[in-house]
Every structure is written in C-alpha cells, then in structure tokens.
C-alpha cells in the first residue's frame, strides 16, 4: 500500500498550537511518520510520502518517508501535487490519500485512490500517552 499524506491537513487536524512553530510541526509530523512507516514497512510493505505546499526554511529529511513539496507555493498547491502523484501512478487503486479536504477527496477518488481521514490517521500514527489513574499523582503506586 502506498500512503500519500496531505501534511498540513494532518497537522491542522488538531488545534494544538502548531501555528506557533510551523516548521517544528512539520518536523514532528515527519518524525512520527518515520517511526510509523518503519514499523508498517516491516509488517506490511507500506510506502509513505508526505506532501507540503512549499519547502520549509530548513530542509526536513527522512530515511523512510519521502518528503515532497509542491513546485510552487500557492493556494491548493499541495493538493495539486498530490493529484499529480496519484495520476502518475500506474496503480492508483493501491494508494491511500490522507486528507480531510473535501475537494481533494473528490479529485483523488475520481482517479481511483482511497481516502483516509486526517484526524483518524493522526490518531493512528501517534503513540498513546500513558494514562494516569484517577485521583493519583504520577509516581504514586
């Protein structure tokens, strides 16, 4: 399975202050994708590409995930790049596009790709934080 991730759509799926450090949010997403993709590749042979609308001020690298950018920063440029990637693939039916953008969803589905909602995907790739027992302070066992 090939996953193409609408990077800013996934980042923006939760109002967790990402806009205060856009570059940091992009790096954090790529790091999470790296960890998830490494495990998924071993188990299922998945390939992951994350697409951003423009290159960041400092390069973001990955050994496992392909980090891609739209050729020109503009409105919907990442969407257009994702559609280009799906259209260029000989087997679009093997692609899952991660987005909650309705217009992008419609465009890639017409090309044969499946869509996975951004919020669900973010929950999938983020490890669950340890839960504290009610009424107990951390470290009280």
What is the per-residue pLDDT across 103-131, written as a single tens digit (0 to 9) for each? 999 999 999 999 999 999 999 998 754 43
pTM: 0.85
- Is residue 137 included in any domain, yes or no? no
Range of the domain at 102: 2-125
Give the CATH number for residue 66: 3.40.50
- Is residue 141 included in any domain, yes or no? no
Total domains in the chain come to 1
- Is residue 132 included in any domain, yes or no? no
Q: If you average pLDDT over residues 9-14, what whole number do you get?
A: 93
- Is residue 29 included in any domain, yes or no? yes
CA–CA separation, 138 vs 141, rounded Å?
A: 8
Arithmetic mean of pLDDT over the chain: 87
CA–CA separation, 126 vs 32, rounded Å?
A: 7
């Amino acid at each position: 399975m090939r996953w193409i991730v609408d990077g800013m759509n996934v980042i923006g799926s939760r109002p967790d202050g990402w806009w205060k450090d856009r570059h940091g949010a992009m790096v954090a997403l790529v790091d999470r994708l790296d960890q998830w993709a490494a495990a998924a590749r071993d188990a299922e042979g998945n390939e992951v590409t994350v697409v951003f609308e423009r290159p960041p001020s400092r390069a973001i690298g990955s050994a496992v995930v392909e980090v891609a950018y739209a050729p020109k920063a503009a409105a919907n440029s990442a969407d257009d790049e994702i559609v280009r990637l799906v259209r260029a693939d000989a087997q679009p039916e093997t692609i899952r596009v991660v987005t909650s953008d309705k217009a992008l969803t419609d465009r890639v589905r017409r090309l044969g790709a499946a869509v996975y909602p951004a919020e669900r995907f973010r929950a999938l790739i983020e490890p669950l934080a340890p839960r504290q027992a009610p009424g107990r302070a951390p470290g009280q066992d």
